[in-house]
């Protein structure tokens, strides 16, 4: 059998073989949960039935379609906040890495910002930036600033003396050393910081929405749970998970593309592409 089936099929079989036990376990959990609620072991007001959650998802996404607006509002807030926070963080980190005095006189403020629970700023930020999207973006930016700053700075400060010496011995300028040696060495850490930052940006957006907002999954969630509509509330929570997964995996994708040399397959693909480009230029 195995000698006539193509390679892809066995891979598919393997995948199936790996996934089926997971699915069985998941189904089992759902069935026990459903039964426990139906038989009255768990109050459905506190923990609703899985089928009720499923119904709420269908209603939110397909029947009424109320979720989409809120979903994209929160997604936009988190992403814009992240972009602002990340660009400030990376700029400050690069300045700190390039200039010792800058680092010395800026770092105390960064540390103060780090030890303050950023979430405590929620009411003040809402007073400053209003009830709209501005305050959510601002809180997301504040919360995601520090992990990105600290990771970028750590990445840029790690010096590989041997390689630097090699660069100098072939006459590289300081700018070249920075661009070709220190930045690529810092990128993996920078992306690790970005991944953390993106998650915290989402937290910032959602918490600001809890406090005061008219749109966004955070508002939807608190509205549903104060109506004791737990099924819809959990469905909204799953939507937040979805936002989180979308953000995380898009960052993972960028990480894969930009820091391609860290992974064997990506490095091979990149070198193949380079080889093709060279061959085309050579007129082959």
Partner 1 sequence: MAAQDTMTEGLAARSGGLSLRQRRTLLHALIFLTLIGLWEAGARLGVLDPLFYPRPTSILNSFYLIYIKNGNVWFNLYATMSLVIAGWIGGSILGVGLGALVGFNAVVRRFLKPYVIVLEATPRIAVAPLLIAALGFGASSKIAIIILVCFFAPFINTLSGVVNVNEDKLELFRSLRATKMQVLRKLVLPDAIPVIMAGERLALTAALSGALVAEFIQRDQGMGALILVYTRNLNMASSFACIFTLTILGFLIFRGMEWVDHHIAYWKNEAGMKRIGDRRRRQLGPQVGE
* Chain contacts with partner 1 (rule: CB under 8 A): 21-22, 25, 45-47, 104-105, 108, 112, 114-124, 126-128, 199, 202-203, 206-207, 210-211, 217-218, 221-222, 225-226, 228, 230, 233-234, 237, 240-241, 244-245, 248
**Closest approach of partner 1 to the CB of residue 159, in Å:** 18
> In this structure, are residues 87 and 143 in contact, taking their beta carbons and an 8 Å threshold?
no
**What's the CA gap between 108 and 85, in Å, rounded?**
18
**Closest approach of partner 1 to the CB of residue 136, in Å:** 13
Residue number, 29 or 166, with CB nearest to partner 1: 29
Residue number, 21 or 171, with CB nearest to partner 1: 21
**Closest approach of partner 1 to the CB of residue 114, in Å:** 8
Residue number, 133 or 234, with CB nearest to partner 1: 234
**What's the CA gap between 47 and 75, in Å, rounded?**
27
With a CB cutoff of 8 Å and minimum separation 6, the contacts of 201 are 78, 79, 81, 82, 85, 140, 141, 143, 144, 247
**Closest approach of partner 1 to the CB of residue 230, in Å:** 7
Residue number, 89 or 126, with CB nearest to partner 1: 126
């Amino acid at each position: 059998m195995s000698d006539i089936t193509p390679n892809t099929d066995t891979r598919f079989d393997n995948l199936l073989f790996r996934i089926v036990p997971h699915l069985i376990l998941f189904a089992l959990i759902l069935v026990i949960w459903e039964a426990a609620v139906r038989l009255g072991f768990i109050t459905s007001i506190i923990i609703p039935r899985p089928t009720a959650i499923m119904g709420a998802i269908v209603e939110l996404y397909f029947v009424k379609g109320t979720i989409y607006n809120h979903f994209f509002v929160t997604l936009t807030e988190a992403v814009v906040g992240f972009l602002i926070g990340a660009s400030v963080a990376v700029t400050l980190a690069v300045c700190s890495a390039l200039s010792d005095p800058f680092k010395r006189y800026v770092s105390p403020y960064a540390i103060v910002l780090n030890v303050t629970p950023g979430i405590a700023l929620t009411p003040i930020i809402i007073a400053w930036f209003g009830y709209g999207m501005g305050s959510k973006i601002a809180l997301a930016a504040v919360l995601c600033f520090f992990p990105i700053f600290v990771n970028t700075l750590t990445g840029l400060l790690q010096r590989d003396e041997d390689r630097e010496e090699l660069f100098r011995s072939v006459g590289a300028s300081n700018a070249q050393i920075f661009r070709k040696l220190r930045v690529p060495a810092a990128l993996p850490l920078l992306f690790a910081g970005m991944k953390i930052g993106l998650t915290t940006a989402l937290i910032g957006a959602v918490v600001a929405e809890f406090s005061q907002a008219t749109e966004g999954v955070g508002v939807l969630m608190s509205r549903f749970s104060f109506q004791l509509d737990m099924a819809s509330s959990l469905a909204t929570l799953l939507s937040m998970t979805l936002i989180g997964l979308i953000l995380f995996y898009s960052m993972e994708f960028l990480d894969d593309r930009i820091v391609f040399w860290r992974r064997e397959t990506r490095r091979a693909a990149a070198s193949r592409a380079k080889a093709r480009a060279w061959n085309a230029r050579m007129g082959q």
